[in-house]
Every structure is written in C-alpha cells, then in structure tokens.
Chain A
Amino acid sequence: MAFLEVKNIKKSFGKTEVIRDISFSLEKGEVLAIIGSSGSGKTTLLRCLNFLETANGGEIIVDGETIFDAERAKKYTDAEKRKARLRFGLIFQQFNLFPQYTALKNVMLAQELLKTGTKQEIEAKSRDLLDMVGLSDRLNNYPCQLSGGQQQRVAIARALALSPDILCFDEPTSALDPELTGEVLKAIKALKNSDRTMIIVTHEMNFAKHVADKIIYMADGIIEEMGTPEEIFENPKSEKTAAFLQSSKENDGV
C-alpha cells in the first residue's frame, strides 16, 4: 500500500460539486504537482486533505492509518481532527504568518503549544529550519519587515516545524512579484532533495515539470489526466490537457 492513499474524495458546496470523485496515491518521498485552471477544484482538494474543508465522501489513508473517512466525518472530535491534521503541513498562497510575532517566534509557536520539546530544543530546531530556507539573518524581523518571498520561506519553515509526513503547497508563488518567485521555488526544490513527500498546487508549469515525480491535471472536479511529467507535458493523452498546456504556454510567451 502506498504511503498516501486518497480514495474517492467528493466535495460540494450547496449544490455545486467542486470535487467529483478523486483518487490517487503517493509513495514516500514523491512529489506530486496538481495543475489545472482556476475553479477546477485543486485548492479545495488540498483543503480537504488538511481538514480545512470536510469532504462529503471518500477516505484518506496515511501510512496505513485511515485518518479520514467521510462516513464517520461527523463523529470526529476536535482532538482527533487536530491529530490527523498534523500528518499534513500546509503553505498558503497568502503566507498567513502571524504578524505580531517575529520570524523565529512564528516557527516556534506551534511547537511550544504542542510541547514538542524543551524551550532550547524548540528554539534550536526553529533556527535550523530558518537557516535551511536561507533566513538565518532575519530571525528577529516581523513579517511586515520581510518581502513576500521571505515571508513565504518563513511559512515553509513554520510548516516544517511540526515534521508533517506530507507537505502541501497551495499556489505558493501566486501572490508574489515575479522576481520573488525564484527564491521560493528554490526552497521547495531543496526540500525535494531532502526526500520530503509533497503535494504542490501550482501555476508554474516549468517548475512542476522539473520538480514533480507525478503530475495531476484537474478539470471540473475530476482528474483529467495523471502521469509523469514527460507523459503529461510531452504526450498528453487528453485533448483538454493538451489545450490547457498550450494556452498556458502561450500566456508565458506574452
């Protein structure tokens, strides 16, 4: 059985079906990129995995343990949800750093609240993480003193602080100025080299092509096509996929 198994996830808001039956699996250390046009349900899928939305149907299994089963969804206690949630980390499009805390404290806070170690251990780990994303000289800066790219890198360190099994990125560079996307993409690439399991929702086709082991193209709430970067980018089987890739290529050219 694969490390992450997502089975038949469904989600609707009112009468609008946003996700209509999605299944995929991921091995440990694999990087999955999810691409697709706006409104295809990519972000909602990611939010379901992180329990920010409760899926109406389906199961999520991590490392053999069923952490979500829609049939039991209403019975989950807050504590159970919090525990299951820690399997996943999430990096938001809008960073969502806590503005009143320094970069270091942003990374430390959740560890302190969950008491994952002594104060010294937590601080040392947080410093290491910020060092890893290249921000060791920004430890005591507040988010408002950091550029968008730096804020997003703090957010990556913050998500890593709780050592999640699977790290999710929700369009991590979409809110950034073009000249700042590079530093964030570089940080994510470095994580791939350290064998992290990741799911990345992105509009950066080139990045997806180079960093992902597996690509999912989503359209209208279903997986239109799934495969390796070569399969998807070089020989798309579905016409929809080909059309989407073509139009995003044209936009890049403009």
Chain B
Amino acid sequence: MFWTVTLSLLEGFVNTLKIFGMTLLVALPLGLVLSFGSMSRFAPIRFIVKIFVWIIRGTPLMLQLFVIYYVPGLVGIWAQSAQIDIPVINLLVEWLSTWTIMDRLAAAFIAFIINYSCYFSEIYRGGIESIPRGQYEAGQVLGMTKSQIFFKVVLLQVIKRIVPPMSNEIITLVKDTALVNTISVYEVIWNAQRFTKTDGLLWPLFYTGVFYLAFNGLLTLLFGYIEKKMNYFRS
C-alpha cells in the first residue's frame, strides 16, 4: 500500500511541479515588465498597472482560480444566447464558446501566472528603487545608454537585493499550488484525498507534507547557494 500511495502522490506532485515551473517561467519576466509599468513616467500606464496589482494582490488566489476557470465559459454562453449578428463578434463568440471546456490545468497556469507576476513585480520595484541614484549617474557621465546602465550596472545589484524576498515568495508558490484542488486539478493533495475517500486512509494526506518539505528543502539550499555566490560584492 505504501508504494501504491507513494507512486500516486508522486504522480500528483508532477502536476504540482508543472504549475510551479510554468508560473516561474512566465511570471518572472512578466513581473519585471509589470514593475516597469508601475514605475512608468507615463501616468496612465502607471495608474492601470497599480490598479491591476491592487486587484490581484487584494483578492484571494482561490477566487482568481474560480474567475479564470468559470468566467470565460459564462461569457461564451452569454454571447451565444445574446445572438449578436456581427461577423467579428460571431468569430469571437465561437472562440469564446470553446472556453467552456477550457483545460483545468491551463486555467490554473493562467491564474498563477497573473497572481505571481503581480507579487514579483512589487519585489522587482522594491529592488530597483533601492539602487542609489549615484549608480545611474555614474553610468550616465560615462556615456552609457539607459539600457546599458540597466543591464550592465543596475541589474546584478537588483538581483542580489531581491534574492531573499524572492526565495520567500517562491517557497510560498510551492505551497500555493495546493489551491488548484478547488478546480479539480489533480495534484498531490488531491491524489491523497482519493485514498481517504476510497480506502478510508488518512495518513496519505499527512504524507503529502513530506513532498512539499523535501522540495522546499532543495529550494532553500539552492537560494542559500545563490546568496553565497553573490557575497563577493556589497551594494
């Protein structure tokens, strides 16, 4: 039984890892773009991004999962029943109606990417704004372009400063993946619950903690290593 459970949980953990990996892959760069938006000198962009970040950080991720999963389908149904007869709209309706059968995992990806981009963007913003103005000015008087200053002078200093808050957020992400349970994506806890329902076993549920702990242990080691690697300079 132990091996059956372990294998089943491992299978669930693959989905956990998929959500984790996909979220990092897209949200890390997207967060940087959002952070530029929230620091933009163009007020309307700054305003829109700030409102967006406020909404996403101000509502539960679980609720966002529901919205991403259910709302496109609802819109599709509504659009079909409204019978608007304009070619462009028809195409849109057709496309939206396919969303009713949107893949659960895809919905989870989208919700997590949006949610974590917003959190990451605030970490980036904090890091970028903490770099002293003198660093930019030193680059300017040496004739560097704005992008050279960002990539050659500022970026590594920002990375050094954001590793601790980033590692915190990324470890939270590992545990947050359990939320996809609510839209029936099979992950490690979902698979454990099946044993509770069918075999009356509780221990598989507690056993899932080992998977999270082991993975977060690895991440902790990795972040510790990165911090140590960047210890050669102080900023």
Interface residues of A (CB under 8 A from B): 50-52, 78, 82-83, 85-86, 88-90, 92, 94, 96-100, 109-110, 113-114, 142-144, 158-159, 162
Interface contact B143-A100, CB-CB below 8 Å = no
**What are 27 sample pairs from A and B whose C-beta atoms fall under 8 A apart?**
A78-B145, A82-B143, A85-B141, A88-B141, A92-B134, A92-B137, A92-B138, A94-B132, A96-B134, A96-B135, A98-B138, A98-B153, A99-B157, A99-B235, A100-B235, A109-B142, A110-B142, A110-B143, A113-B152, A142-B232, A142-B233, A143-B233, A143-B234, A144-B233, A159-B141, A162-B142, A162-B143
B144, CB-defined interface residue at 8 Å:
yes
Judge whether B146 is part of the interface by a CB distance below 8 angstroms. yes
Q: If A78-B145, A86-B143, A162-B143 touch, does A100 touch B233 (CB 8 Å cutoff)?
A: yes
Q: B148: CB under 8 A from chain A?
A: yes
The closest CB in chain A to the CB of B235 belongs to: A99
Query: Within the complex, what minimum Cβ distance (angstroms) separates B134 from chain A?
Result: 4
CB neighbours of A142 from chain B (8 A): 232-233
What is the minimal beta-carbon distance from A159 to any residue of chain B, in angstroms?
A: 8
Report which residue of B141, B144, B153, B234 has the largest number of chain A beta carbons within 10 angstroms of its beta carbon.
B141
Interface residues of B in 143-168 (CB under 8 A from A): 143-146, 148, 152-153, 156-157, 160
Minimum C-beta distance from A117 to chain B (A): 15
Supply 8 further A-B pairs (C-beta < 8 A) apart from A86-B143, A97-B138, A110-B144.
A52-B141, A82-B144, A88-B141, A92-B138, A96-B137, A99-B234, A113-B143, A142-B233
Do the beta carbons of A96 and B138 come within 8 Å of each other? Answer: yes
Q: List B contacts of A96 (CB < 8 A).
A: 132, 134-135, 137-138
Assembled-state Cα–Cα distance A51/B141 (Å): 8
State how many angstroms separate the Cβ of A86 from the closest Cβ of chain B.
5
Contacts of B156 in A (CB 8 A): 100
Instruction: Give the nearest-CB partner of A161 in chain B.
Output: B142
Inter-chain contact B233/A52, CB cutoff 8 Å? no
Interface residues of B, CB < 8 Å — how many? 22
Q: Please, which residues of chain A bring their CB within 8 A of the CB of B141?
A: 50, 52, 85, 88-90, 159
B140 at the interface (CB under 8 A from A): yes
Give the distance to chain B from A112, nearest Cβ to Cβ, in Å.
9
Q: How far is the CA of A73 from the CA of B144 in the complex (A)?
A: 20
CB distance from A46 to the nearest CB of B (A): 11
Please report the C-alpha to C-alpha distance between residue A51 and residue B138 in the assembled complex, in whole angstroms. 12
| Contact between chains at A100 and B134 (CB < 8 Å) | no
Instruction: Specify which chain A residues have a CB less than 8 angstroms from the CB of B234 in the assembled complex.
Output: 99, 143-144
A144 vs B232: C-alpha distance when bound (angstroms): 9
Chain A residues near B153 (CB-CB < 8 A):
98
A183-B212 Cα distance, complex, nearest whole Å = 57
Asked if B157 and A100 sit within 8 Å, CB to CB, the answer is yes
A99: chain B residues within 8 A (beta carbon): 157, 233-235
Q: For chain B, residues 88 to 125, give those with C-beta under 8 angstroms from any C-beta of chain A.
A: none
Nearest residue in B to A86 (C-beta to C-beta)?
A: B143
Instruction: With both chains docked as a complex, state the minimum distance between the C-beta of A85 and any C-beta of chain B, in angstroms.
Output: 6
Residues on A with C-beta less than 8 A from B132 are: 94, 96
Interface residues of B in 194-231 (CB under 8 A from A): none
- Decide: A85 and B140 in contact? CB cutoff 8 A: yes
CA distance A51 to B232 in the complex (A): 33
Are A113 and B157 interface neighbours, CB within 8 A?
no
A90 to B156, CA, bound (A): 24
* B138 to chain A: closest residue by CB: A96
CB distance from B49 to the nearest CB of A (A): 24
Which chain B residue lies CB-closest to A52? B137
Query: Once bound together, how far apart are the Cα atoms of A100 and B232, in whole Å?
Result: 8
User: Chain B contacts of A94 at CB under 8 A?
Assistant: 132, 134
Q: Which chain B residue has the least Cβ–Cβ distance from A82? A: B143
Closest 6 CB pairs of A and B: A110-B142, A96-B138, A96-B134, A144-B234, A99-B235, A90-B141
Contacts A113-B152, A143-B233 known; A98 to B143 CB distance under 8 Å?
no
- Cα–Cα, bound, A152→B135 (Å): 14
Least CB distance from B13 to A in Å reads 37
- What is the CA–CA distance of A88 and B143 in the complex, to the nearest angstrom? 10
A63–chain B nearest beta-carbon distance, Å = 18
Q: How far is the CB of A223 from chain B (nearest CB, A)?
A: 24
* Pair B233/A158 contact, Cβ less than 8 Å: no
Q: Which of B138, B145, B160, B233 has its CB near the most chain A CB atoms (within 10 A)?
A: B138
| A150 vs chain B, min Cβ distance (A) | 15
- B148 — which chain A residues lie within 8 A by C-beta? 113
